[in-house]
């Protein structure tokens, strides 16, 4: 928990809700996160837990129906929620890059990839037409696209999914951002391509010394890639830890269940364990722990009393009554 003052990106007590016909639906309910320069933070959870919404809220890219109710987002000492829209635009794509889940639909179909990379270069680096093209080719080479000089004039539909995701990464890193937010960057890709994209991200991170916020539901990806992990459930962080500790000693019953659901190389023929029950609807979150209805170790107080995220040892915190009061902090 130390070194918080030097955090590059810091989110505090973020609450986001969406306006629907059924009323305001809470999607993120008090998320805290800190990212240090150059590190990789993974945010893990199943679909709908609020991890992507958190990422979009950081860049203020939520749909019009989404609203940041309260909280603070600080980046390099600036309060992002207080910035004007032009100030925010100057950060997007330049100091904070973002890669999305769906490479198939995330690129504009009517522009060449060169134009789409060049647009960032024109906006943030003020490059002229010829420089943009040369730089786009250099970036395509950097993200491992062969025959970049020809590819630069191609349209997205002429490329495979993995190739498009490389182009998305080229766009995101074109201005050497300090933070790259990668929202499920490999989910839509084949397994072999997934590994290549992760390798690419890791290589780029080492070269550029950028921090990565990796949003994923894949614990295998987390194990390979991240230093620290946040586990989210129903819009809240339920466990925060470094990667080694999380895999060795998961504390929250939800984290444990996630790990049990992970296929392991050693255990053949063993059936994977699924988590019983379903994620509660955001409209009917219980007053207590949102996981209580599915929890194998539920206590009488869980349904009504909400556990807070408390540190149990250095760098490891969990929001669960099973572990309340066991730690130092």
Partner 1 sequence: MWTFVIRSVLQRLVLLVVISILAHSVVHLAPGEPSQVDPSNPRLKPEDIARIREAFRLDEPIHLQYAYWIHDLFTGELKSFRDDQPVLPKIWRRFLNSLPLFVCATLIVWTLAFPTGIAAAVRRGRAFDRGSTFLAYAMISTPGFFLAYVLILWVVDTFNVPVIGMRTFGMDAGSPVNYWMDRLWHLVIPSAISALGGIAVLSRYVRSQMLEVVGQDYVRTARAKGVAEDAVIYRHALRNALLPFVTMFGFLIPGLIGGSVIFETIFAWPGLGRLGYDAILGRDFPVILTLNFIAAVLTLAGTLVSDVLYAVVDPRIRYD
Nearest residue (CB) to partner 1, 109 versus 296: 109
CA distance 132 to 138: 10
Q: What sign does the CA torsion over 235, 238, 244, 248 have?
A: negative
Structure tokens at 28: 């993120």
From the list 80, 141, 151, the residue with the least C-alpha distance to 114 is 151
Q: Is 238 a residue that touches partner 1 (CB under 8 A)?
A: no
Candidate residues 20, 47, 108, 206; the one interacting with partner 1 per rule CB under 8 A: 108
Indicate whether 109 belongs to the interface with partner 1 (CB under 8 A).
yes
In the set 14, 27, 107, 200, which binds partner 1 (CB under 8 A)? 107
Between 95 and 252, CB nearer to partner 1: 95
Distance of alpha carbon 291 from alpha carbon 238, whole angstroms: 9
Q: Which of the stretches 74-82, 84-92, 224-232, 257-265 binds partner 1 when contact is defined by CB under 8 A? A: 84-92
Least Å distance between CB 314 and partner 1?
A: 35
102 binds partner 1 (CB under 8 A): yes
Least distance to partner 1 from the beta carbon of 98, Å?
4
CA distances from residue 50 to 96, 114, 231, 282, 317 in whole angstroms, order as listed: 20, 33, 11, 10, 19
Q: How far is CA 118 from the centre of its chain?
A: 25
Report d(CA 164, CA 41) in Å as an integer: 24
* Least gap, CB of 184 to partner 1 (angstroms): 12
Indicate which single residue of 26, 45, 66, 93 sits in contact with partner 1 (rule: CB under 8 A).
93
Query: Could you give the C-alpha distances from 172 to 103, 141, 230, 259, in angstroms and in order?
Result: 13, 14, 23, 31
Binding of residue 157 to partner 1 (CB under 8 A)? yes
Q: Which residues have a Cβ under 8 Å from the Cβ of 97 and sit 6 or more positions away?
A: 171, 172, 173, 174, 175, 177, 179, 180, 181, 210
Contact between 90 and partner 1 by CB under 8 A: the answer reads yes
* Closest distance of CB 108 from partner 1, Å: 4
Cβ pair 99, 110 in contact under 8 A:
no
The smaller minimum CB distance to partner 1, of residues 43 and 96, is found at 96
Footprint on residues 46-65 left by partner 1 (CB under 8 A):
59, 61, 63-64
**Residue 175, both tokens:** 């201005």
- Which range touches partner 1 (CB under 8 A), out of 1-9, 164-172, 258-266, 298-306? 164-172
Residues interacting with partner 1, by CB under 8 A?
59, 61, 63-64, 85-86, 89-94, 97-98, 100, 102, 105-112, 119-120, 123-124, 155, 157, 168, 171-172
């Amino acid at each position: 928990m130390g070194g918080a003052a030097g955090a590059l990106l810091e989110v505090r007590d973020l609450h986001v809700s969406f306006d629907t016909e059924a009323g305001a639906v809470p999607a993120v309910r008090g998320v805290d996160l800190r990212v240090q320069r150059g590190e990789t933070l993974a945010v893990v959870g199943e679909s709908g837990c609020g991890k992507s919404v958190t990422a979009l809220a950081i860049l203020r890219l939520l749909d019009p129906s989404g609203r940041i109710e309260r909280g603070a987002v600080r980046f390099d000492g600036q309060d992002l929620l207080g910035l004007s829209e032009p100030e925010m635009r100057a950060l997007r794509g330049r100091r904070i890059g973002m890669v999305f889940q769906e490479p198939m639909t995330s690129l504009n179909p009517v522009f060449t990839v060169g134009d789409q990379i060049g647009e960032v270069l024109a906006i943030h680096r003020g490059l002229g037409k010829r420089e943009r093209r040369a730089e786009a080719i250099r970036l395509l080479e950097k993200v491992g696209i062969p025959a970049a000089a020809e590819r630069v004039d191609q349209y997205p539909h002429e490329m495979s999914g993995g190739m498009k995701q490389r182009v998305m990464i080229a766009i995101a890193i074109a201005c050497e951002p300090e933070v790259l937010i990668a929202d499920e960057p490999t989910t839509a890709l084949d397994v072999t391509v997934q590994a290549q994209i992760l390798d690419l991200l890791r290589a780029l991170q080492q070269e550029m010394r950028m921090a990565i916020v990796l949003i994923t539901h894949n614990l295998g990806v987390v194990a390979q890639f991240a230093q620290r992990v946040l586990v989210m459930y129903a819009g809240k962080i339920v466990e925060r830890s470094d990667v080694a500790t999380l895999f060795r000693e998961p504390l929250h019953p939800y984290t444990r269940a996630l790990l049990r659901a992970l296929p392991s190389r050693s255990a053949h023929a063993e059936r994977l364990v699924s988590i019983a029950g379903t994620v509660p609807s955001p409209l009917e979150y219980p007053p207590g722990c949102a996981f209580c209805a599915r929890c194998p170790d539920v206590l009488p107080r869980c349904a009504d009393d909400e556990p807070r995220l408390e540190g149990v040892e250095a760098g490891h915190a969990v929001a669960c009554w099973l572990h309340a009061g066991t730690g130092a902090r």
